[in-house]
Copies of this chain bind each other. A is one copy, B any other.
């Protein structure tokens, strides 16, 4: 299991590929992955950059817990959750959630569920830099 909060930009596909390469070969039949990426547009406005704040300690604990719960509940082989913090630019990946399992149902269910849990509980906050000034994002898009 890998859970990490990352203050620097990363390539999500390289991270997933590297992590998967260390899993027992031939054990997993299904990998379901979600990557959330920063768009340059939100609620009708151009967004130039974004500041991703979190509650150090609490957030890590929440991500560990949701990953661990998903691993057990869905009988997964492995799980990865990676979330960016700090200043983020359009096209930067923000979050990666990945689930590996023997068959596809568990991986699909777990990946989506972890993502919805992360969005509803994990203590991250987004502040957008627009041309006209800054604004805090007040709520997430429905899942």
Contacts and interface: CB of A to CB of B under 8 A. Distances in A.
Interface of A: 11-14, 16-17, 20, 25-41, 90-91, 102-105, 107-108, 111-112, 115, 141-143
B31 A34 contact: yes
Copies in the complex: 2
A91 B34 contact: no
B29 A38 contact: yes
Given A13-B17, A14-B13, A39 B28 contact: yes
A107 B40 contact: no
A137 to B, nearest CB: 12
Contact of A34 (B36, B108, B141): B108
A104 B32 contact: no
Given A13-B16, A91-B25, A143 B30 contact: no
Given A104-B34, A104-B115, A20 B13 contact: yes
